[in-house]
Amino acid sequence: MTQEHYPFEPYLISVTRPIAITSREEREQTIKECHYNLFKIPSQKVMIDLLTDSGTGAISNKQLAGIILGDESYAGSRSFEKMLAAIEDITGFKYVIPTHQGRGAENVLHSTLIKEGNLIPGNTHFDTTKAHIEFRKGVAVDVTIDEAKDPSLYHPFKGNLDLEKLEKVLKETPKENIPFVLITVTCNSGGGQPVSLDNIKGVKSLCKAYGVKLFFDMARYAENAYYIKTREEKYRNLSIREIIQEMFKDSDGATMSAKKDAIVAMGGFLALRHEELYQRCAVYSILFEGYLTYGGMTGGTMETIAQGLYEGIDYHYLEARIGQVARFSELLKAVGIPIIEPVGGHAVYVNAGKMLPQIPPDQYPAQALGVAAYIEGGIRGVEIGTVLADRDPITRQERHPNLELLRLAIPRRTFTDNHMSYIAQSFKKIHATKEELKGLRITWEAPILRHFTCEFAIVK
Ligand code: F0G
């Protein structure tokens, strides 16, 4: 028997953090006090927190050492130099603007490049990206392949861009109106679905032919590279590093939320190929984020990113990480829970609309399932459905997305497979009495981004 036959986590767990065990009665009381909004639950009252995989991973002993080694100089920090060297080594981008997190990098890039009326085509843009585009009165044009819309259809790369749709936009829009095309790897809003290397190459040739810049949102780039290696036959013999180099080759840059694939609690950066654009972005960087060698991060944080970037691209680590999410999805399926397939890299999306047909979309089935998961097992997921979709800014009518989903995001290196079995058992119990679950109605909501703070009551 070797690790190759039975891949296991290539690390030991040496520091632990306790989980406060709560009773069902306590949780019923807590969720009522929180007006059935999962964001309002204090973390001490959550046993298994699957709200996000962002900033929630476990750091390694080398990363921890980095926190102490951090050079906290305002200007010219050695820790920045170390982070810069790691980014250049892995991605090939030479110019780096450090930022406090991913959306900070989006703010700097978009402030520099996006003007009113611009179109930014891409595969389903992440919420903060879309919000930054729309804040500047630009339009995020979704050109994802149609296969991505069918939750039960198997396609190995549901994050792919439809090259015909993309070419149509590029052909019909004056070049000056498209500041860049954006590829998000993996595509979070599409369910953590990867983009194939052939598709990336296709996008690159279109961008080149039409003289348009190409950027990546590289938050989960290493997970995407793992999928290319394991699902795209002709690239099977390339290493994860070689695939990453191929992915970014000839593109103009990338925004990064280091809280994902660099496995740190906080941090991000904007990586750029060309000095000229770096100089233009630097102005906004200093204005919003901080000086060019720290950008809102401590030296210690930059050290942990430099180290975490390497740990995040380790093949054995990725195999264990993506393997855990895949095994978890099988456990859920085995107890009859409908999920989006194929399962994504960082999360399992439960099809709550399908599971709870008695609850109509305007009574938020995914929120109801989220509440049930909390009461049953102290598990916190996040609603990706009508509550999140919010109201149309003009008509104020609720927007109903295609699917009502409950996302269970899996933090990196944090939970064991035994935790995953516990979650599946909790869902089995919910499934057994699912007909009894009731919908919710909103009793209070904020004018924008309502999902974070709105209050619910159970429909009697
Ligand atoms: N891009 C993608 C693809 C993301 O998933 C996120 C964050 C961001 C950008 C923004 O990065 O949070 O560091 O400012 N996603 C988190 C999530 C919040 O839960 O999926 P940030």
Q: What is the pLDDT of residues 79-98, one digit of tens each?
A: 999 999 999 999 999 999 99
Identify the pLDDT of residue 51: 98
Which atom in ligand 1 lies closest to the alpha carbon of residue 259? 13
Considering the domain boundaries, does residue 246 fall inside one? yes
Domain co-membership, 306 together with 323: no
Q: Are residues 256 and 336 in the same domain?
A: no
Contact of 365 with 388, CB cutoff 8 Å: no
> Is residue 49 located within the same domain as residue 136?
no
Alpha carbons 362 and 373: distance in angstroms, whole number: 20
Is 230 found in the same domain as 249? yes
Compute, in angstroms, the gap from residue 357 CA to the centroid of ligand 1: 30
Looking at residue 31, its pLDDT comes to 98
Please report, for the domain that includes residue 409, its CATH number: 3.90.1150.10
Question: Residue 375: inside a domain, yes or no?
Answer: yes
* CA torsion through residues 386, 388, 392, 396, sign: positive
Would you state the pLDDT for residue 225? 98
- Residue 344 counted as domain residue: yes
- Is 80 exceeded by the pLDDT of residue 393? no
Residue 278 shares a structural domain with residue 350: no
151 and 253 inside one domain: yes
Check whether 238 has a pLDDT greater than 90: yes
Of 50, 103, 221, the one to substitute when testing ligand 1's pocket (max ligand atoms within 8 A of C-beta) is: 103
Q: Are 106 and 255 in contact (CB under 8 A)?
A: yes
What is the number of the ligand 1 atom nearest to the C-alpha of 104? 14
Domain boundary among 257, 288, 312: 312
Report the relative pairing of strands 139-142 and 95-99 from DSSP bridges: unpaired
Task: List ligand 1's pocket residues with C-beta within 6 A.
Answer: 52, 54, 101-103, 126, 128-129, 184, 188, 217, 219, 257, 259, 268
Same domain? For 74 and 87 the reply is yes
DSSP code at position 350 = E
Q: Residue 103 CA: which ligand 1 atom is closest?
A: 14
What's the number of domains the chain is made of?
2
Considering the domain architecture, whether residues 286 and 373 belong to the same structural domain is answered as no
Q: In the predicted model, is pLDDT for residue 335 greater than 90? A: yes
pTM reported for the whole predicted model: 0.96
In tens, the pLDDT along 344-387 reads 999 999 999 999 999 999 999 999 999 999 999 999 999 999 99
| Cα distance between residue 451 and residue 173, in whole Å | 35
Is residue 1 situated within a structural domain? no
What angle is formed at CA 148 by the lines to CA 56 and CA 152, rounded to 5 degrees? 90
> Which tens digit of pLDDT belongs to each residue from 398-454?
999 889 999 999 999 999 999 999 999 999 999 999 999 999 999 999 988 899 999
Atom of ligand 1 nearest to the CA of 409: 19
Tell whether 19 is covered by a domain: no
Q: Region 222-247: what's the mean pLDDT?
A: 98
Other CB atoms closer than 10 Å to residue 416's CB: what's the count? 11
Neighbours of 347 (CB within 10 A): 25
| Candidate of 38, 56, 126 to mutate for ligand 1, largest count of ligand atoms within 8 Å of Cβ | 126
Assess if residue 220 is contained within a domain.
Answer: yes
User: Domain check: are 123 and 113 in the same one?
Assistant: yes
102 Cα to the center of ligand 1, angstroms: 6
Residue 411 lies in a domain: yes
Contact (CB, 8 A) for 360 and 392: no
Q: What is the pLDDT of residues 278-305, one digit of tens each?
A: 999 999 999 999 999 999 999 999 999 9
Q: Has residue 331 got a pLDDT over 80?
A: yes
Exposure b/e, 38-73, CB count within 10 A at least 16 = b? beebeeebbbbbbbbbbbbbbbbeebbebeebbbee
Ligand 1 centroid to Cα of residue 423, in Å, is 24
Atom 10 in ligand 1: residue holding the nearest Cα: 102
Cis peptide before 342 (omega within 30 of 0): yes
Which of 184, 188, 325 has most ligand 1 atoms within 8 Å of CB, for mutation?
188
**Same domain for 319 and 306?**
no
Residues 373 and 229 reside in one and the same domain: no
Percent of the chain with pLDDT over 90: 92
pLDDT at 149: 87
Q: How far is the CA of 43 from the centre of ligand 1 (A)?
A: 20
Print the domain residue range for 101: 61-312
Q: Are residues 328 and 229 in the same domain?
A: no
Centre of ligand 1 from the C-alpha of residue 298, in Å: 20
- The verdict on residue 35 lying in a domain is yes
Cβ-Cβ contacts under 8 Å for 336 (sequence gap 6 or more): 428, 431
Which among 284, 312, 340 is the end of a domain? 312
Rg from Cα positions in the chain: 22
Among candidate residues 200, 451, 404, 418, the one with its CA nearest the CA of residue 328: 418
Which of 312, 332, 367 is the last residue in one of the domains? 312
CATH number at residue 228: 3.40.640.10
User: Which residue's CA lies nearest to atom 15 of ligand 1?
Assistant: 54
The amino acid occupying position 393 is P
